[in-house]
Amino acid sequence: MPPDRETKPEPAARRAALTELEGCVLGLVWSKGPCTAYVTRRVLLDSPSPYWSGSAGAVYPLLARLEARGLVRAQAHSTGRRDSRRFVITPRGRRALERWLGPPLPDWMLGIPMDPLRTRMGFLGALPTARRAQFLADAERQARVHLEASRQEVARARAGGDLYEQLVARGAVASLEARLAWLSAARRRLARSR
């Protein structure tokens, strides 16, 4: 009987830390699997977060890399006249997903995150008064659009009965509500300083 490949020690290249996108896609294959690259791509494209890239140029090569590392396995699949491949997570992939999830959680994840809006706020004094007001009004308007999309995502997750999707969506709502409160306070404070 041949030795089980999954019980052998993993080479360092296969144990390498996952990027956030790799971890997210591996998690999607785990939660939605078996699933096609297209299904994975649709989840990323439909995400209310502008952070995730659901482009074919990102997802398809990423799944090929995960497959080459032994983290997912492709199975031939047909839908009608089209042949496709469905991906499933391997035991090695499950261990990589668990390592990516943590604990321990890294400081960069729980500390103050990089925030391009907050960075720009520090330099608003370089803009004329009218442009500063326009900046803040535009930021508040766009944040409200994202907040509404996130609230709709909470409703969809609740209707679908997925507790974890609800938690994610509620986290987005809480973050955007806090961001809007901060922007509103900044606008009022700058208006008083004129």
- Convert the pLDDT of each residue in 65-103 to its tens digit: 999 999 999 999 877 778 889 999 999 999 999 999 999
Q: Are residues 16 and 90 in the same domain?
A: yes
What local confidence, expressed as pLDDT, does residue 9 receive? 54
Q: Compute the distance between CA of residue 124 and CA of residue 50 in angstroms, rounded to an integer.
A: 24
Paired residues of 36 in beta bridges = 86
pLDDT band with cut points at 50, 70 and 90 for residue 7: very low
What's the mean pLDDT in 123-151?
A: 95
Higher pLDDT, 147 or 81: 147
- Looking at residues 42-52, what average pLDDT do you find? 85
Q: Which long-range contacts (CB under 8 A, 24 or more apart) does 13-16 make?
A: 13/69, 14/69, 14/70, 14/71, 14/92, 14/96, 15/96, 15/99, 16/69
- Residue-level pLDDT at 11: 57
Asked if the peptide bond before residue 103 counts as cis, ω within 30 degrees of 0, the response is yes
Are residues 55 and 42 both part of a single domain?
Answer: yes
Question: End of a domain among 107, 125, 148?
Answer: 107
Q: Give the domain range for residue 163.
A: 112-192
* pLDDT above 80: residue 36: yes
Confidence band, pLDDT 50/70/90 cuts, at residue 47: confident
- Are both 116 and 152 inside the same structural domain? yes
Under the banding of pLDDT at 50, 70 and 90, the label for residue 131 is very high
Q: Which residues contact 53 (CB under 8 A, 6 or more apart)?
A: 21, 44, 59
Is it the case that residue 13 has pLDDT exceeding 80?
A: no
Instruction: Say what the pTM is.
Output: 0.79
- Choosing from 107, 128, 162, the residue where a domain stops is 107
Q: Calculate the average pLDDT of the chain.
A: 89
Of 107, 140, 158, the last residue of a domain is 107
- What percentage of the chain carries pLDDT values higher than 90? 71
Contact 99, 53 (CB under 8 A): no
Q: How many domains does the chain have?
A: 2
Domain check: are 99 and 120 in the same one?
no
For residue 97, the model assigns a pLDDT of 97
Same domain, 85 and 176: no
